[in-house]
Structure 1
Amino acid sequence: MSKLKPIEVLIVEDDARVAKVNRRFMEKIEGFQVVGIAANGQEAKVWLEEMRPQLVLLDVYLPDMKGIELVWYIRQHCKDIDIIMITAAEEIEVIQDALRGGVFDYLVKPVLFDRFKQSMEKYRLHLQTLSSHQRLDQKQVDQLLGHVQEPIPEKHLSKALPKGIDPVTLEKVVQVVQAHSEQGLTAEQVGKHLGASRTTARRYLEYLVSIKRIRADHTYGTIGRPERKYYAEQI
């Protein structure tokens, strides 16, 4: 199976040290590739025109313009490009403008790696959900917009979990399966999304089947052998 094309990222940041940190953070997360770093708004516009990245990491305070101006430039000229703000700006007016401009996330400096990684993984899952569906029901739209959180039921967390099942990984498995609920995924495919082995993925998947969080079904592959696929349970 061919490797998925990485998500191309443009960093727009005038502080070279911060830009270097953002690049280093990004290089630690699978599935992303920094294609350029712009130190001001004009450089960013050139990169946007020439590279058309999927994602822009954008600071608010740039030497030649406010980052919010660039948000609206992107919305007018590059509607298919997403934006995550990484900035020291905490003013409510700036945050409101960013949200109105449709930014995917807003990270306040100094940003810890765990929060940075959480944002990127959420964005990657967001893209996977959009690319794997032609239509979305209300539940899926709510999940996509972040209106509904669906944690593992309390009785299944921590103390109730069997040995070898981590609650954080368990929830990630649920999210991956939900993002591909129409076509279903095999244990091997889930493992690739998680960066884990097929055996590890199957252990989590079968546990989720046992608590009726997801369902499993057998299908036949191209060579006639049955394969077990996992699907999100529908309400």
Structure 2
Amino acid sequence: MTSPLRVLVVDDDFRVAGLHRDAVDSVPGFRALEPARSLTAARAAIAAERPDLLLIDNYLPDGEGIELVRATDVDALVLSAATDAATVRRALRAGAIGYLLKPFDARALRDRLERYARYRNVLDAAELEQDDIDRALAIVHGEPVTTTRSATEQLVLATLGAGEASAGEVADACGISRATAQRHLAALAARGIVDVRLRYGSTGRPEHRYAASRG
């Protein structure tokens, strides 16, 4: 089972922090840590808890949240009432993956968390191609995700045009690693472009066999 994404809320207003914490816990696949109410507390929590994502206000008692975003190696979504363009630009330059204006509907935060989970899922591979990067950025920014097939996907499908094959056979035919072949086959199967079946041998685990969908 995949571990939930751990989220640290950083807000000096305990009521707001509690609302955001509860909103995070209501989204499947996420777990909220105990909120931090200052930059000092946030730094300590980051060191101790290793969160995956910060939901951070900019104006805090001991400084600006944007500066923590700049200084830390943790993904961050800035939640702020500041509407001036300069602050928004500074947040994005600092590395924030998004900026959500307060006050906001809980559904807006949920939408961004769900997009973040999909973004992380795409970037979870050891090796990435340009279409993977483009798709991840489109997801996190709420843009339409294109369905244009990459050169590797086209090569994989051309290989399957000759008949059913395993991930290892596809890798050998395409001149790519088995992990890369497996990743593309799984993505194509999820989109219904490739069919998967299991072939059972006399011993060991069943082998996954792939074929171009006829549907």
Report the counterpart of residue 99 of structure 2 in structure 1: 106
Task: From 121, 128, 132, give the equivalent of 2:121.
Answer: 128
Structure 1 match to 2:198:
220
2:132 matched residue in structure 1:
140
1:186/1:227 contact within 8 Å kept: no
Map Cα deviations across residues 3-59 of structure 1 (whole Å, 9 max, x no partner).
Answer: 210111111000111111101111110111112211011111111111111111100
Are 1:97 and 2:90 matched, yes or no? yes
Give the drift of 1:101.
Answer: 1.2
- Any conservation in 2 of the 1:185–1:229 contact (CA below 8 Å)? no
Q: Does 1:6 align with 2:4?
A: yes
Structure 2 unmatched ranges of 5 or more: 148-181
- The alignment status of 1:16 with 2:14, answered yes or no, reads yes
> For the Cα contact (< 8 Å) 1:6–1:31, is it kept in 2?
yes
Gaps of 5+ in 1: 153-179, 188-204, 206-212
Percent identical across equivalent pairs?
28
* 1:38 partner SS: coil
The CA deviation at 1:218 is 2.4
Which residue number in structure 2 is paired with residue 150 of structure 1?
145
Whichever residue aligns with residue 96 of structure 2, its letter is V
Aligned-partner Cα distance in 1 for 2:117–2:10? 20
Question: Who wins on radius of gyration, i.e. which is larger?
Answer: 2
| Distance (whole Å) between structure 2 residues aligned to residue 219 and residue 136 of structure 1 | 27
| TM-score with structure 2 setting the length | 0.70
1:56 aligns with 2:54: yes
Instruction: Give SS of 1:182's match.
Output: helix
Deviation at 1:140, TM superposition (A): 2.6
Aligned residues: 172
- Could you tell me whether the CA contact under 8 Å between 1:184 and 1:229 is conserved in 2? no
User: In structure 2, do the counterparts of structure 1 residues 68 and 229 end up closer, same or farther at CA, with 3 Å as the change threshold?
Assistant: farther
**One-letter amino acid of the counterpart of residue 11, structure 1:** V
Cα RMSD (Å) of the superposition? 2.9
Partners of 1:52 and 1:60 in 2: how far apart?
A: 20
Q: Runs in 1 of length 4+ with deviation above 3 angstroms?
A: 221-231
